[in-house]
Amino acid sequence: MSSDLATPAPRDDVLSNEDLLGIIFGFVQEFNHAEATPHDFNGSTSLREMLLPNLSSNQQLLNLALTHKSFLEPALKVLWRHIPSLLPLLGLLPEFGLIGKSSDYGFKKIPSHASDWQRFHVYAPYVKAITLGKVPQSISPFVYHVLALACPSHSVGFYVPALRAIRVDCSSPANFPGAFFVTTASQHFPSLRKVEVVNYLTGGADLHADSQVFLQQLFPVLVGRQPRVNQLAFRGEWNLSSFTELQDRLPSLPQLSHVALEVPGSMLLVRQACHRLGQLRNLRHLSIRLSPTSKRSKKKYTVKEGFSSLRELEVVGPAWEASRVISSIEGPRLEHVFIHLTSFELLDALCLHSRIGNLIQSSPRLVTFSLTGASSGASGQDIFASYSQSSSPVSSDSEPSTAQVSIVHLLAERCPNLTSLTLPASFNISLTSSPDSSSGSGSAHPTYASITCLSALAKGCPHLVDLRLGLRLHAVAEDDLVGFWKPQGSEPDAVRRPHPLKSLWINAHDTGQLTVPECISIAKFLHGLFPRLVQLEQYGGSGSFSSMSLECKTFYCVKASFQTMKEMEEQLSRAAM
């Protein structure tokens, strides 16, 4: 038989697939880094340190790569894609090492011939990211002057064609000369797109002063030498003057599409930052992390900044500060919103509910909406309560027009393209009475989302695939489902089409113990509403069955009934074939 007819073995297919091998080696490296993290139990040495005292994760990966020739190329891509400093690259050049008895590295001879750069040009194309922070060895600043003299080419010069990101860590004596070399020598790094400055501090120490000087010089360098940089991230502790200077310089980079900022909690700074960021007409991704403020301003701000090109918004911080940012942004093209509350107080509930509602109303293109809360304390579930009073004493800064509308129903009405929805799993605040009953302005009574609200989501969000939220479980009448699936209007096929939801995570609230028939009615409701549902899980629950609350046990009874229905459906389907 001719060898042309031979079928390749699966092993050969794997060995010839460099992309697959790269993914595998990436997992190997991440696992090794996680396992190599020391676990200090009362000062004792970790088991991994005792078994592998001198073997780094990268060395283990390299040893594995050398076992087969097909592994080498994918492993090199993983090993070199992110390097902790410029030393690994500089170490490939001849005559580079410690200068005399000093602790600084430098050139003993300038690499001016093509043969000097051969090893460098083998590995440099793999490098995609560099972190410039504290390293045990320091590089002499004169090294970068020498490198700048070498003309970049395929034979001679410090040329890193695939480098896309640098990260400057200011928490320790950072390699600021190296950072300036990377940002100024655009001909050496033609693909640089992202600059990240983390652990930035303001203060009187020399370390902090160096950070401030670096930041002051960075923007003019980026404007003049790196016009392709479109992603900036700044994390750290700011004072008023340094943050004001930072935000004033942002409009000088109109090409920015991704910006991540850590903003002091002052509302004035938040407003100023939003005003400057609104001037970036190409901004597509905005991430804002907020620090808590000790003083709450009573001043109301009604001006919204228009972000015409913004597609993704992430806000992390205390509920009060987060609500102010949300109220400052108007993004008609927003598709992804992620809000994480680091703290939450009773006074924040109605105000935050109202402002999130306004954001949803002005963002009909939403595809992803995620609102999560802190693991301890109030997580914000009360935000979704429906209040019985039209005027509530919870916050004088709220807008009653949206305070009465359930977030779930608002999403169902306004966001037909929604594919992923995450709401807080639990709540620890009771709003059964007014926070200030002496005011005589009434009381707020929350009604937590019922299981039947899923009908509104199924009808209003026909593309929803993943859903996580807290619900009140109760017996469901079959009429609730029949009414939904009854053909309406001129497009009955759209109504009859099975809903694509595949993953549903529920945290049961205010449920108590339900009977078996009641649990079955819920399972039938879910199965009829979401026939393609394959994952029904407890959201935010843990522990053994004996220690579970009644709500958790009720959920697992519903889950067991649902799984039984799915199995029976599969058996009937196989029998009919």
Per-residue H/E/C for 233-295: EEEECCCHHHHHHHHHHHHHCCCCCEEEEEECCCHHHHHHHHHHHCCCCCCCEEEEEECCCCC
For 371-398, what is the mean pLDDT?
Answer: 44
- Band of residue 23 on the pLDDT scale cut at 50, 70, 90: low
Q: For the sheet containing 138-139, what is the strand order?
A: 96-98, 104-107, 138-139
Q: How far is CA 22 from CA 25, 57, 71, 409, in A?
A: 5, 16, 9, 44
Q: Cα(126)–Cα(119) distance, rounded to whole angstroms? A: 12
What's the gap between Cα 9 and its chain centre?
A: 40
Reference 167, options 124, 134, 145, 118; nearest CA is 134
Find, among 422, 300, 420, 410, the residue nearest to 362 by Cα. Answer: 410
E strand map for 66-180: 82-83, 96-98, 104-107, 129-132, 138-139, 165-169
Model confidence at 304: pLDDT above 80: no
Tell me the average pLDDT of the chain.
75
- pLDDT on residue 285: 97
Sign of the four-CA dihedral 90, 95, 97, 99: negative
Furthest C-alpha separation in the chain: 95
**Other CB atoms within 10 A of residue 510 CB:** 15
For the ranges 100-109, 188-197, 534-543, the one whose mean pLDDT is highest: 188-197
Assess contact for 86 and 130: CB atoms under 8 A. yes
Residue 498 is given by DSSP the state: P
Bridge partner residues of 337 (DSSP): 313, 369
Q: Cα Rg for the chain, rounded, in angstroms?
A: 29
SS3 495: helix
Nearest of 238, 250, 91 to residue 170 by alpha carbon: 238
502-546: pLDDT as tens digits: 999 998 876 777 889 999 999 999 998 999 999 999 887 654 454
Residue with tokens 């592998």: 52
**Predicted pLDDT at 508:** 83
Query: Coil, strand, or helix at residue 296?
Result: coil
Q: At 483, which amino acid appears?
A: G
pLDDT band of 461, cuts 50, 70, 90:
very high
Q: What is the dihedral of CA 336, 472, 511, 431, to 10 degrees?
A: 80
pLDDT band at 407 (very low <50, low <70, confident <90, very high): confident
Residues 311-334: what's their mean pLDDT?
Answer: 90
pLDDT value at 321 more than 90 = no
Confidence of residue 570 (pLDDT cuts 50, 70, 90): confident
208 phi and psi, to 5 degrees? -70, -35
Residues contacting residue 261 through CB under 8 Å, at least 6 positions apart: 233, 234, 246, 247, 273, 287, 288, 289
Residue 98 has pLDDT above 60, yes or no: yes
What is the model's pLDDT at position 443? 38
pLDDT of residue 44: 36
Q: Give buried/exposed letters for 430-456 (b at 16+ CB in 10 A, else e).
A: ebeebeeeeeeeebbebebbbbbbbbb
Q: Based on the number of CB atoms within 10 Å of its own CB, is 401 exposed (0-12), middle (13-18) or buried (19 or more)?
A: exposed
Residue 536: its pLDDT value, please?
A: 94
Whether the pTM exceeds 0.75: the reply is yes
Per residue in 34-84, pLDDT (tens digit) is 444 333 323 333 323 323 333 456 666 667 667 766 677 777 888 888 898
